[in-house]
Structure formats: C-alpha cells, structure tokens
Amino acid sequence: MKTSIIILTYNGLEVTKQCIESIRVHTPEEYELIVVDNNSDDGTIEYLKGQRDIKTVYNNENMGFAKGCNQGVEVAEGQNILFLNNDVLVTEGWLKNMLRLLYSDYKNGMVGPVSNYVSGYQQIPVTYRDITGIDEFAKQYCKINAGCYRTVNRLIGFCLLVKKEILDEVGNFDEQFGIGNYEDDDLCYRVLQKGYKLKIALDSFIHHIGHTTFKKLGQAKLNELLTENRKKIMDKWGFDVTNKLHTGKVEVTISLCMIVKNEEKTLKRCLDSVNEAVDEIIIVDTGSGDKTKEIALKYTDKIFDFQWINDFSAARNYAFSKATKEYILWLDADDVIDDEDRKKLIALKNAMDSSVDSVTMNYNLAYDKNGNVTSSLRRNRLVRRACHFKWIGAVHEYLAVYGNIINSDIAVIHESIEHESDRNIKIYEERLNKGEEFSPRDLYYYANELRDHGTFDKAAEFYEKFLNTGQGWVEDNIGACGKLADCYYNLKDRSRELMYTLKSFEYDSPRAEFCCRLGYYFLNLSKYREAIFWYKLASELEKPKESWGQMNHSCWTWLPHLQLCVCYDRLGEHELASRHNELAAQYIPDDPRIDFNRKYFENKLKK
C-alpha cells in the first residue's frame, strides 16, 4: 500500500534538503515523494532536478498551498495522500504509526502527528534544545504513547494523512484560499460533515520549524491574509467554521477493561448493562474453571489469560495495556450500570472534552428495600488511556490518577455475590510472613480484612498502627476512626469506642455518621439530652453532593429523625417525637416503623 507524500516548496532549500533526507532515513514503508515547487529562485529547482527518486511539478508562479497540494494529488499514485510541509523533520515510526491509526477504524478520515510547533492539541512540550536531540526525544515519547491517539475536530495541514478514496469523496483543498491559511480547517470540516473522524497519533512525532514561508511576507501582510481568508471561510459556510472546530465536542471512544475469575453468575449481567455504551471490551481471565470465558466470547474476542500472582494491580494493569480506545472504563463482574446511568454514560461520550483525564462516578454499595442508596463512595472510573495511569497495591488496589478530573452523577451499582472470603486476607498474611513492610494503605486495608473476619482485637491493632503513621489519606483516617469504634464496641470497651469516635473530628468537621454514633452511644446510657444533641446535629448537617469516603446515607437523611423520635418519647415530649417521626417519613414513607409510631402517637396525644 503506497503513500504519496506531497511537499510544496517555495525557496527554503536547506530546510527542504533536511526534510527529504529525514524522510529517506525514517520511512521504510512504501511511498512516493512528490514535490510541487512554486517558482523557487534559491537553487531549490536545481536541487530537485538532481533527485531521481522524486516526482516533481514546477510552477512558473507561486500558486499557493491549496493549488500546489491539489497539483500533487493529480499526479499521485498512492492509496494514501500525505500533505507535508517542507520545514519539518520526521522521526522513526512517524508514517507507520499514523497509517496504523488511519486504518484502525473505517470511520477514521484523517490523521496527524504531534509536534513541537503547531496549534491546538497537536502541540506537545519537548525537552530537546537543538536538532541533535530530536530523534532520542521522539523515540522515548512515542514509546510511552505507543498506540495512543486523540480524537479531535481539527488537524493542522503541516502534516496531514488521508485515504485517497476519502479525498475523492470530500474533494481536494479549496483553492480560493490562495497562498494559505484556513484551507486545512475547510477540509477538516468537510471530512467531519461526511461522518469521518479526525485523530492525532500520539506516537508519531514530527519536528516543525514553522512558518518559513509566511515569515517572508511580514507580519502586516500575514495579518491581512489571515483576515481575508477568515472572511472567505465564513462566507463559504455562513458561520465561523474555525471557531466551531475549536469549540465543538467529539464523541470519545471507550475500552471496557475487566479482570475476571469464575464469574459465570454475574458476567452476562454486567456486560449487558454496558455493552452498547463502550466501543471495545477487554476481558483478562486469571484462572476461571467455569463458563466465564464462554460467556465473554459472546461479547468480545479480546480475551486474555493472565497467570494469577496474588496481585490485583498487576492483573488490572495488564488489562489496561490491552486497551486501544481513547478512554478506559473499568468494572468488576458484579458491577452493573442501570438504564438511566447507561444513557448518561452515552451522553457523556458525546459531550466530554477529550482533555479530561479522569471521570469519577458514584459507586453504590447498598440499598434499602425501597431502592434508596444506603452506602456509597466515589471512584475514578473512566480514564484517558494516553495518561498511562497505573493501579497500585496487591490487594484493595487503587488507580493513581491526577490531572483534569471531573465528577459525574453517573452511578455504578455493586451487586455482590459470595467470593472466596479468605482470598484477600491470605494475600496479606503471606506478605507479612515474608517480612514485607506494609505501607499505610496496606495497614488500613489489612485491618479492614481482619475486622470483616471478626478478629476485632487484631484489627484494632492495625488500625492504630495505620493512624500512628500520620500518612493516611483523610478519608481513610476518618474511616479508621469509625472502624476502631466498631471494634471496641464489639470488644465491649466503651471508653475506647467513644475516644475513636471523637478522634474523627481531628481530621474533618463532624460528619453525620459520627454524630449518629455518638447519639447511639448516649442513648444506650439513657442520657437522652446528650443523645438529642448529637442526633439533632446530624439532622442539621448539609449532605455533601460528592464524597470520596464511604457514605452512610441513612445518617444524612432519616436515621437521626427516627432516633430523635425515640429520645423525645423517652423524655415524654410526644409532640416533638411525633414531628421527627414525620420528618423521617419524608425519606422512608413505607417503612413499617413509621406507621407503627404514628398509631402509637395517636394514642399518646389523645390522652
């Protein structure tokens, strides 16, 4: 498959030589080189006539960029057309990686590289100081971004790869733009209008000197040209096309990445819930012995085996490495996305700016019988693949995310079934037996496992070790205080239960969960006024719209009112008790306790 590389020249002999030589060195793919000269007078024509591997077109006057490119297309024989400025230096893999991206999806219309000197999303920061450092920089940068791309509305004409059949469909450059400027925006818009996508190959780097032709015009003449051509494109389309290309949204693409093992009971449910919202499904199996793979094959052929090494991060990072789309969504097999939130996810795909690095979503862990969320937290759920975010931690792993993060109201629902209950704790204990020193995060999550297994004394020991490091995340610190209070409640150590409940206030202002815990503490001691203070405070706190820690929604809604009902009743203040029962009813109208209390207070208040 041949690519016709079309270069325009108008003087600039030395940069032209460097450009052509870099193409010869770094382009093993099949190509033909076409140079259209716009009446150079600096020796460029004589140089070109001495190059036997170059097809040439000579003009007797400067015909401009659009006309010259179209002349090159007329003599091109390749299945692909690549428009290239003469003031560039290409690097290893430049064409191969752009071609791979162009043909990865039949909807891909045009592809461009990244560069040191270009407008828009194609420009990247570089570390080299002169041309001797270009190749090494490009090698490292493209290795890091291998296979990555970005969908955009606008590509710059300094290097533009397009299939010849698409160019035939949409038409060549509009020659009314003369010497140059805005003809590339016009072509981009026409390609988009036909339903094709424009993409940047993040693993293709080209060094661009920039504006060698336009510098000769002078700033005043250049400004005049820009104004004139901007008017031409607005007159042609009836609106500001360039502004639309800059501000318009592009539907992003999503790879779903999952690690699975013996998930035949839940995998179909999960994949059905998200299948139409994603563009690719990656399944990494860590040793299933049931029908998990058979089920997965109905949704994707991208199923990979991964030898289990007691490390969840290793498996998740492997799954991420297999993704090919712009963004990665991760789910567990016992997660689902309901119809409403699936629609929100699809809407997000259509509206999200591709500069977003991560999207957080609610993770709903439990519901009451009326369908109200009772426990939830927030997770980084959708991440840009080009950021190369990594999972960290063998157990209870987390995704290390930074950059441009947005919070969405999309929810993922956790519908858990029983798994091997000892799996995680065995991994931790194996690491301890090897003498491994635990990080603060490991201490916290190992304590969680111990608590879940009912080993409250040992769990308390590790929670305290975690807090004593002074290095925990604030939400984990607060969580540890609550769980320490749980442990000491089960160990019947009321003084330490109270101590760690109050200690949570060292890390943040009082939260409803801890206010309710204190209310319950005093209620059990029949200290109703003290209990009322804390329950009332809980009822008055504003429920956070977003919470990274685990939230018990009942403590922020109905629970303090129902408990205030109990406290006021014990004090004989039945009207206040009844009022708080009705406030609780606003959240849980069908709860049998509400109806029971109503009948109870009807009798009390009649007397």
CATH of the domain at 430: 1.25.40
Q: Which domain holds residue 366?
A: 254-414
Cα–Cα distance, 68 to 131 (Å, whole number):
28
Q: What share of the chain is helix, strand, coil (3-state, %, to 5)?
A: 45, 20, 35
Q: Mean pLDDT over residues 449-460, rounded?
A: 96
Examine the pLDDT at 210 and tell me if it is beyond 80.
no
Q: Mean pLDDT over residues 555-576, rounded?
A: 97
Query: How confident is the model at residue 606, as a pLDDT?
Result: 79
pLDDT band of 474, cuts 50, 70, 90: very high
Burial annotation 580-591 (CB, 10 A radius, 16+ → b, else e)? bbebbbebbeeb
Residue with tokens 């382009």: 27
A 10 A CB-CB count for 508 gives 13
pLDDT band of 211, cuts 50, 70, 90: low
Cα–Cα distance, 335 to 282 (Å, whole number):
15
Pull the structure tokens for residue 602.
């009807």
Examine the pLDDT at 218 and tell me if it is beyond 70.
no
Q: Mean pLDDT over residues 289-307, rounded?
A: 98
Query: How confident is the model at residue 607, as a pLDDT?
Result: 64
Q: Which of 461, 491, 521 is the last residue of a domain?
A: 491
pLDDT, one tens digit per residue, over 483-497 is: 999 999 999 999 999
Q: Is there a single domain that holds both residue 515 and residue 560?
A: yes
pLDDT band of 222, cuts 50, 70, 90: low
Q: Mean pLDDT over residues 548-567, rounded?
A: 95
Total domains present in the chain: 4
Rg of the Cα atoms in the chain:
32
pLDDT band of 465, cuts 50, 70, 90: very high
499 near 473, Cβ under 8 Å?
no
Q: Which of 247, 262, 294 is the last residue of a domain?
A: 247
Pull the structure tokens for residue 124.
């990247």
Query: How confident is the model at residue 203, as a pLDDT?
Result: 96
Q: Is there a single domain that holds both residue 204 and residue 240?
A: yes
Q: Is there a single domain that holds both residue 116 and residue 228?
A: yes
Cα–Cα distance, 544 to 358 (Å, whole number):
21
Identity of residue 592: P
Identity of residue 292: T
Residues in Cβ contact with 157 at an 8 Å cutoff, skipping those fewer than 6 apart: 65, 83, 85, 183, 184, 187
Cα–Cα distance, 202 to 114 (Å, whole number):
6
Cα–Cα distance, 367 to 207 (Å, whole number):
56
8 near 65, Cβ under 8 Å?
yes
Element (H, E) at 305: strand 303-305
- Candidates 311, 352, 306; CA nearest to 329 is 352
500 located within any domain: no
Examine the pLDDT at 235 and tell me if it is beyond 90.
no
Examine the pLDDT at 212 and tell me if it is beyond 60.
no
Could you tell me the end-to-end alpha-carbon distance of the chain, in angstroms, rounded to an integer?
Answer: 94
Q: Is there a single domain that holds both residue 176 and residue 260?
A: no
Element (H, E) at 371: none
DSSP code of residue 194: T
Q: Is there a single domain that holds both residue 143 and residue 267?
A: no
Phi first, then psi, for residue 308 (nearest 5°) are -70, 125
Query: How confident is the model at residue 605, as a pLDDT?
Result: 84
pLDDT band of 19, cuts 50, 70, 90: very high
DSSP code of residue 453: T
Examine the pLDDT at 217 and tell me if it is beyond 80.
no
Lowest mean pLDDT of 10-19, 170-179, 236-245, name the range. 236-245
Phi first, then psi, for residue 591 (nearest 5°) are -70, 130
Q: Mean pLDDT over residues 142-165, rounded?
A: 94
Query: How confident is the model at residue 457, as a pLDDT?
Result: 97
Query: How confident is the model at residue 215, as a pLDDT?
Result: 55
411 near 443, Cβ under 8 Å?
no
In whole numbers, what is the pLDDT of the chain averaged over residues?
93
Q: Is there a single domain that holds both residue 515 and residue 487?
A: no
Q: Is there a single domain that holds both residue 484 and residue 521?
A: no
- Candidates 231, 356, 332; CA nearest to 284 is 332
Q: Which residues are bridge partners to 375 per DSSP?
A: 366, 552
Query: How confident is the model at residue 214, as a pLDDT?
Result: 52
pLDDT, one tens digit per residue, over 324-351 is: 888 999 999 999 999 999 999 999 998 8
CATH of the domain at 590: 1.25.40.10
502 located within any domain: no
A 10 A CB-CB count for 283 gives 28
Identity of residue 107: K
CATH of the domain at 24: 3.90.550.10
97 located within any domain: yes
DSSP code of residue 123: B
Q: Is there a single domain that holds both residue 54 and residue 143?
A: yes
Q: Is there a single domain that holds both residue 131 and residue 17?
A: yes
Q: Which of 387, 414, 441 is the last residue of a domain?
A: 414
Q: Is the dihedral of CA 271, 277, 280, 284 positive or negative?
A: negative
Burial class (CB in 10 A: 0-12, 13-18, 19+), 174: middle
Cα–Cα distance, 334 to 332 (Å, whole number):
5
Q: Is there a single domain that holds both residue 454 and residue 409?
A: no
Helices 512-524 and 474-490: crossing angle in degrees, nearest 10, is 20
Q: Mean pLDDT over residues 222-235, rounded?
A: 79
Percentage of the chain exceeding pLDDT 70: 97
Q: What is the DSSP string of 321-347?
A: HT--SSEEEE--TTEE--HHHHHHHHH
